[in-house]
Amino acid sequence: MNKNEPTPLFGGIEGGGTKFVCAVSSGPADVRAEARFPTTTPQETLQRVINFFQEQESKFGRLDALGLACFGPLDPRLASPTYGRIMLTPKPGWSNADLVGTLRTAFDLPIGFDTDVNGAALAEARWGAAQGCDPVMYITIGTGIGGGLLVNGNLVHGLIHPETGHLLLPHDWQRDPFPGACPFHGDCFEGLAAGPAIEKRWGQRAETLPPDHPAWELEAEYIALALANYIVTLSPQRIILGGGVSQQPQVMQLVRRKVQARLNGYVQSPQILEQIDQYIVHPGLGNQAGVLGAIALAAQALQNQN
């Protein structure tokens, strides 16, 4: 960039199932304003978002681009007739909601739009714990399980976008008689290992289980099975594990050891054999990974003039 050009300023929106977080920022070191709104109807929620950015533009001047990193399923494919919309979702009122279209009626700006986890993967690759790595995988283990994927510098869309949280895993019914909680697949990865599955299986919220509870060994087993599958199919150069459940300190160590055990020396890479502590890591952007994901999508939209 020419050094006389002003640094671009972006509006980022992290669209979650319970809240929308908005920020004005040029990058991780410079977040100038932030606001949170509960997720109600798409109309009401987006109107609050629009009002917020219009106020910010009156303070900071015109923004250069907007980015929306949102819960899915959604359509991120630019050439698709339903680009910019949420797809069929059990969330009342949100199926088919035209999020990008609504933002476009208020702002004549490039707009980036992708899943929350693809946004987080991009932000971690640009500014966080996956700089210089490609492919990059970002996985969140929270209310649901989702995975974002950056390959050759691009976020993967394909048919729609990857749904790596719904991987089908071996399930030892004797060891774990819990049938799983995914409404579509029962005992897929999300059905067995997301926060609500832990709560249903053990009868208490995941964050209240003590560190030596057998829940964590089983949880780490499922996460490690999933990661071993991602490693042999996608060959990521780094895996970022985000979300509330991954904040349990013992989970990360157990997952790393179990991934090594499952792969059993087959993937002859020093990252796995010797440096797994730097290979499977927490988000470098901490709990800002979500909203900075939206800022990264805005930066990408400005580059591509979406």
**Residues that bind Zn ion in the complex, under the rule CB under 5 A:** 166, 182, 184-185, 188, 190
| Spatial distance between the Cα atoms of 192 and 141, rounded to a whole number of angstroms | 11
Which listed residue (22, 86, 103, 206) binds ligand ADP by CB under 6 A?
206
Three-state SS at 201: helix
Q: b/e string for 178-187 if b means 16 or more Cβ within 10 A?
A: bebbbeeeeb
Residue 142 binding partner per list ligand ADP, Zn ion, none, with a CB distance cut-off of 5 to 8 Å that depends on partner kind: ligand ADP
For the CB of residue 146, give the shortest distance to ligand ADP in the complex, in Å: 8
Which residue's CB atom is positioned nearest to ligand ADP? Answer: 195
Based on CB atoms, which residue is closest to ligand ADP, 101 or 211?
A: 211
For the CB of residue 199, give the shortest distance to ligand ADP in the complex, in Å: 6
Of 45-53, 198-206, 253-261, 292-300, which part binds ligand ADP (CB under 6 A)?
198-206
Residue 53, Cα to own-chain centre: how many angstroms?
23
Residue 173 binding partner per list ligand ADP, Zn ion, none, with a CB distance cut-off of 5 to 8 Å that depends on partner kind: none
Rule CB under 6 A: is residue 283 a binding residue for ligand ADP? Answer: no
Kind and range of the H or E element at 226?
A: helix 214-234
Question: What binding mask, one character per residue, do residues 230-269 give for ligand ADP by CB under 6 A, x or -?
Answer: -------------xxx-xx---------------------
For the CB of residue 38, give the shortest distance to ligand ADP in the complex, in Å: 13
What is the Rg, in whole angstroms, of the alpha carbon atoms belonging to the chain?
Answer: 20
For the CB of residue 204, give the shortest distance to ligand ADP in the complex, in Å: 9
Based on CB atoms, which residue is closest to ligand ADP, 5 or 212?
A: 212
Instruction: Judge whether 53 and 66 are in contact, CB under 8 Å.
Output: yes
Quick one: the chain helix, strand, coil %, rounded to 5?
40, 20, 40
Question: What binding mask, one character per residue, do residues 157-196 give for ligand ADP by CB under 6 A, x or -?
Answer: --------------------------------------xx
> CB atoms < 10 A from the CB of 149, how many?
24
| Cα-Cα end-to-end distance for the chain | 19
| Spatial distance between the Cα atoms of 23 and 68, rounded to a whole number of angstroms | 11
For the CB of residue 102, give the shortest distance to ligand ADP in the complex, in Å: 23
Question: Position of tokens 């004797």?
Answer: 174
For the CB of residue 223, give the shortest distance to ligand ADP in the complex, in Å: 12
Site for ligand ADP in 80-109 (CB under 6 A): none
For the CB of residue 227, give the shortest distance to Zn ion in the complex, in Å: 17
Rule CB under 6 A: is residue 19 a binding residue for ligand ADP? Answer: no
Rule CB under 6 A: is residue 142 a binding residue for ligand ADP? Answer: yes
- Estimate the crossing angle of helix 214-234 against helix 195-202, to 10 degrees: 150
Residue 52, Cα to own-chain centre: how many angstroms?
23
Instruction: Judge whether 125 and 100 are in contact, CB under 8 Å.
Output: no
> CB atoms < 10 A from the CB of 265, how many?
9
Rule CB under 6 A: is residue 125 a binding residue for ligand ADP? Answer: no
Q: Which two tokens stand for residue 12?
A: 């980022």
Rule CB under 6 A: is residue 143 a binding residue for ligand ADP? Answer: yes
Which residues make up the interface to ligand ADP (CB under 6 A)? 16, 142-143, 195-196, 199, 205-207, 243-245, 247-248
